[in-house]
Amino acid sequence: MSSLDTSLALFPGFYRAYYERGLAQLQRKNADAACADFDEALRLKPDFIPALMQRAVARAERRDFDRAVRDLERVRDLPGSPTRVYFMLARIRTLSLAPDGTAIANHASSLFATLDAQFPRDVWEAQLARAVQTWASVTNLTVGVVADGGQPFGAPGLGQGDARFGDIRVGAQAMAPAPWPSRCRTTPSYRPPGRATSSLIRRPPSTARTTCTRSSCTSWATCSASARAAIPRP
């Protein structure tokens, strides 16, 4: 490190020395200092591909995923870009929380209003981030949270790296309760495909499928045990 400092003191326009010092800072887990050195190297040589790629790594370490992806996309678009940039891009995923009112088909997202009413925001956001990181840890991916612009779900755009929202978006909408059927029906038996009509196989009583659990049901005795346990006996 000291030799690089000396080189830069003697030759302040030596972009390669800034790059090498940035690598040393990155190895020391000092992402902020590494970014500063890569910035200076790129100021002196704007299309220096190794510095762009390593700055993307440093920015990802700082959880600055938006700008990390932009660095990698810039490398991808340069002549002579290495194949490795595609693998690096594939490993970075972003997550965004859609603001309330964001259109989800014919509904409006109410993620914040719904969860804020039940838990402090920092609690449920931390649990969501924990769940995502648990998934990411076994997929060899890096996932970071970015801002969401509130565009409708399913809006045309990039499948990955869209600057308007994350690759993974989270929203919430009310789900209508399933309507009650008009009467209770049970199907205690079934007919396997391809069997003759006479070969009717009887299901065990515990596997009878119940499509209605109305409290006013008059067929209590024919309902399955699990269905009877879920509702009060009429």
Per-residue pLDDT tens over the stretch 115-166: 999 999 999 998 998 898 888 878 877 787 888 999 999 999 877 778 889 8
Q: Hey, which of 2-6, 52-56, 85-89 has the most confident mean pLDDT?
A: 52-56
Note the pLDDT of residue 86. Answer: 84
Six-digit token string for 13: 């326009």
Note the pLDDT of residue 145. Answer: 81
Domains of the chain (ranges, CATH numbers):
1-82 (1.25.40.10), 91-176 (no CATH), 177-191+202-234 (no CATH)
Note the pLDDT of residue 209. Answer: 44
Q: Is 141 within 8 Å of 91 (Cβ atoms)?
A: yes
Higher pLDDT, 9 or 106: 106
Q: Is 38 within 8 Å of 56 (Cβ atoms)?
A: no
Whether 95 has a pLDDT exceeding 70, the answer reads: yes
Higher pLDDT, 2 or 172: 172
Note the pLDDT of residue 223. Answer: 55
Note the pLDDT of residue 206. Answer: 46
Residues 62-68: contacts with CB under 8 Å, at least 24 apart = 62/31, 62/32, 62/35, 63/144, 63/145, 64/144, 65/92, 65/94, 65/142, 65/144, 65/145, 65/146, 66/94, 66/146, 66/163, 68/92
- 65-76 and 84-91 helices cross at what angle (nearest 10)? 160
Q: Whole-angstrom Cα distance, residue 191 to residue 134? A: 43
Q: Which of 67, 56, 1, 64 is nearest to 28 (CA)?
A: 1
Q: Whole-angstrom Cα distance, residue 114 to residue 99? A: 12
Collapsing DSSP states into helix, strand and coil, what is residue 191?
coil
Q: What is the mean pLDDT of the chain?
A: 77
Query: Mean of the pLDDT values across residues 21-27?
Result: 89
Q: Whole-angstrom Cα distance, residue 203 to residue 178? A: 26
Alpha-carbon dihedral sign for residues 208, 210, 215, 220: negative
* Burial class of residue 160, CB neighbours in 10 A (0-12, 13-18, 19+): middle
Collapsing DSSP states into helix, strand and coil, what is residue 189?
strand
Tell me which DSSP letter residue 79 carries.
T
- Read off the pLDDT band of 14 (50, 70, 90): confident
Q: What pairing do the DSSP bridges indicate for beta strands 201-202 and 189-190?
A: antiparallel
Note the pLDDT of residue 83. Answer: 86
Structure-token match 């704007």, residue found: 46
Query: Mean of the pLDDT values across residues 53-78?
Result: 87
